Every structure is written in structure tokens, then in C-alpha cells.
Amino acid sequence: MRKVPVGAVYLAGLAPLGWIVWLVVSGGIGVDPVKEIEHRLGKIALWFLFGGLAITPLRRFLRIDLLRYRRAVGLVAFFYVGLHVLVWLVLDMGMLWAQALGDLVRRPYLILGVAALLLLLPLALTSNTASIRRLGRNWRRLHLLVYPAVALAVVHYLWQMKVVQPQGWLWLAGFGVLMALRAVPRRR
């Protein structure tokens, strides 16, 4: 069986963005387009973050080896996280920094989102072959930041809901399952 080129993951990763653009152009995005775009980008980022976390358990327990795509999935996730924050800063806050800082104070869940972004930033910047070589074993240690980053992203998502809906609890449960699978001892 032929392997799918890694570039196809990047290309497929643009499909959700294409869908959002289509919804905006066709007028199907809803009554508050900025909020809807912002939320959709955040959910897409979560899907890709979870996809990246699921690669190791899939390999370990189901023998589905997608390891060669993990970097691409992670970078696509970071792309959507960046777009999510950019929409908040540019479209929602209008690049008014004082307003954005006030928003952070009024809505503390935003601080968790920013913290997740700051944890993911060094991962995205070091997701290249040169950084892997330069950092050696420390590269793996650095990339363990993905776990607290995703945890913060999930709590950010839950907290932004006025009332946590079932979908929110599913995200939390999914994260719990992915973390629990990592704790299962390996068989000899």
C-alpha cells in the first residue's frame, strides 16, 4: 500500500478553513459572523490538537502508524490556534490593545487560551529538522508542553460556555481518555 504524502495532510488541513470561507461568502455563517468564525476556528484547532495526541495511542493499541504525520497535524493545529487568536484580536477587538487587555481581565478564560498559545508557540517554532537536531533529547522534553497546552485549551473551551453543554464534557472526557491511555503500562 502506498503511503499518503505528508503534504496531503497540510492540504487537507485547509479544508475546514475553506468551509468557513464558503459559509462567510454564502451568508451561512450566522447572525454574529465574527463570534461564529472565532468559535469555529477554536473548535477546529481542538480537533487537530486531539488528532495529534491520538497518534501515539492509535499506534500503540491499534497498530495504526500515523507517526510520520504528527508534525503536520501539530502545525495545522497551531495554524488554527493562530487564526483563532488573530480573529479575536483583529475582528473582535479591532486591534485595540487596551480593549483586548480589558477583555482578558473581564473574561479570565481568555488568559487560559493565551497561555495555551504561548505553550504551543515554542513547539511550532521547533517543529523542524534543524531544531530537532540542535535540541537533541531536549526536543522531546520541550514537546511535552503539548499536554498542558491542550488541557488549557479544553478548560478555555469549557469555561467560555455560560452553561457547559454535553459537547464540552465530551472534549474533557476525550482528553482524559487520551491521557489515561498514555498511563497504561507497556507489555513486554
Q: Which DSSP category does 32 fall into?
A: S
3 pLDDT band, cuts 50/70/90, is confident
pLDDT (tens digit, 9 = 90+) per residue, 110-140?
999 999 999 999 999 999 999 999 999 999 9
Rounded-to-integer distance, Cα 164 and Cα 154, Å: 12
Rounded-to-integer distance, Cα 38 and Cα 163, Å: 19
Rounded-to-integer distance, Cα 128 and Cα 111, Å: 28
Give me the residue spans of the domains in the chain.
6-183
Rounded-to-integer distance, Cα 91 and Cα 35, Å: 9
Pick the closest to residue 154 from 166, 132, 169, 133 (CA basis): 169
Confidence (pLDDT) at 188: 62
Across the chain, mean pLDDT equals 93
Confidence (pLDDT) at 32: 92
Confidence (pLDDT) at 152: 97
Task: Indicate the SS3 state at residue 63.
Answer: coil
Rounded-to-integer distance, Cα 73 and Cα 75, Å: 6
85 pLDDT band, cuts 50/70/90, is very high
Alpha-carbon dihedral sign for residues 171, 65, 52, 138: positive
158 pLDDT band, cuts 50/70/90, is very high
183 pLDDT band, cuts 50/70/90, is confident
185 pLDDT band, cuts 50/70/90, is confident
Q: Is 6-183 CATH 1.20.120?
A: yes
